[in-house]
């Protein structure tokens, strides 16, 4: 360890992120225990996650399927995949921005790479996603639909989305640790994002010009690259391009920003 040597922000940030990724076992273990211990004393354990998600999907399908006049056989799988994917994205944004604040006792005690705390939140929510995704094949089977081959493509989408969520969590974590007014702002943005993103409403219901809401909404593209292949649809080239571009630009900005403030984070806690 050698502090005081002149290091640029990019160097500081990449060193921390690489060290965090190398030591992925610790955040994976912590994320695993986060889920495991939360449900330790309940019989069904983490499958309560699955059940509450399933109940929500069922209730919303009933109401919104009627409102939008959509056949349940199309609407339910759409809603199901959308809500599950959104649940993951929303949790990564709202919990992700609290990564440092909720790990303050560890940060002040152990010089772990700070990126580990972001990874912990990521692993925890990925595990929760895996519990929720079980619902989708059941819904597809119930409507006599097979498992679409394009689903494999959603894995590619998932990797791309993860890259995006990780930089978002890292960037907002730094901001939220410094400015304690940020977490409520972020949950507000996520809440609004839920309404502006085609999750409960199918995008084709939007009248002509309003489709800009979808095209200009980065979250719509991020959701699409994971959800659409699960439903047997190919995401559009625009979906892929936007998601990819946000990942590149986002990481570039985040690395410079994170590197500039990384060393101050412990003092802000």
Binding site for other proteins (CB under 8 A): 1-5, 25-26, 29-30, 33, 37, 40-41, 105-112, 178-182, 185, 263, 266-268
Q: Which residue has the tokens 């019989």?
A: 43
CB neighbourhood size of 129 (10 A): 19
**Residues in the chain, overall count:** 269
Contact 118, 96 (CB under 8 A): yes
Residue with Cβ nearer other proteins (204 or 267): 267
In angstroms, give the least distance from the CB of 33 to other proteins: 6
8 Å CB contact between 13 and 255? yes
Is the Cβ of residue 37 or residue 149 nearer to other proteins in the bound state?
37
How far apart CA 79 and CA 45 sit, in angstroms, is 25
Q: Please identify, using beta-carbon distances, which residue of 40 and 204 lies nearer to other proteins.
A: 40
CB nearer to other proteins: give 111 or 144: 111
Judged by beta carbon, residue 30 or residue 135, the one nearer other proteins is 30
CB of 184 to other proteins, least distance (A): 11
Q: How far is the CB of 117 from other proteins (least distance, A)?
A: 12
| Cβ at position 196, least distance to other proteins in Å | 23
Structure tokens at 33: 């225990």
CB of 112 to other proteins, least distance (A): 8
Encoding tokens for residue 147?
């498992």
Q: What are phi and psi of 12, to 5 degrees?
A: -60, -45
User: Which of 205, 207, 238 is closest to 222 using CA atoms?
Assistant: 238
């Amino acid at each position: 360890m050698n502090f005081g040597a002149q290091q640029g922000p990019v160097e500081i940030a990449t060193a921390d992120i690489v060290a965090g990724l190398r030591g992925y076992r610790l955040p994976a273990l912590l994320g695993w225990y986060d889920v495991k211990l939360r449900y330790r004393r309940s019989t069904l354990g983490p499958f309560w996650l699955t059940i509450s998600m399933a109940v929500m999907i069922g209730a919303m399908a009933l109401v919104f399927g009627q409102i939008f006049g959509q056949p349940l056989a199309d609407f339910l799988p759409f809603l199901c995949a959308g809500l599950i994917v959104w649940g993951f994205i929303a949790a990564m944004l709202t919990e992700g921005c609290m990564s440092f604040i909720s790990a303050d006792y560890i940060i002040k005690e152990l010089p772990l790479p700070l990126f580990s705390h972001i990874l912990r939140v990521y692993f925890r929510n990925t595990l929760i996603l895996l519990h929720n995704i079980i619902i989708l094949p059941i819904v597809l089977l119930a409507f006599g639909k097979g498992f679409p081959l394009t689903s494999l493509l959603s894995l590619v989408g998932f990797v791309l989305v993860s890259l995006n969520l990780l930089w978002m969590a890292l960037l907002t974590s730094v901001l939220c640790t410094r400015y304690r007014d940020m977490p409520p702002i972020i949950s507000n943005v996520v809440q609004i994002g839920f309404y502006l993103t085609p999750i409960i409403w199918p995008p084709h219901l939007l009248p002509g010009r309003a489709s800009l809401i979808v095209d200009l909404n980065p979250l719509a593209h991020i959701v699409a690259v994971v959800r659409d292949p699960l439903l047997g649809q190919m995401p559009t080239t625009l979906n892929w391009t936007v998601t990819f571009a946000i990942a590149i630009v986002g990481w570039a900005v985040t690395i410079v920003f994170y590197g500039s403030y990384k060393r101050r984070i412990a003092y802000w806690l």
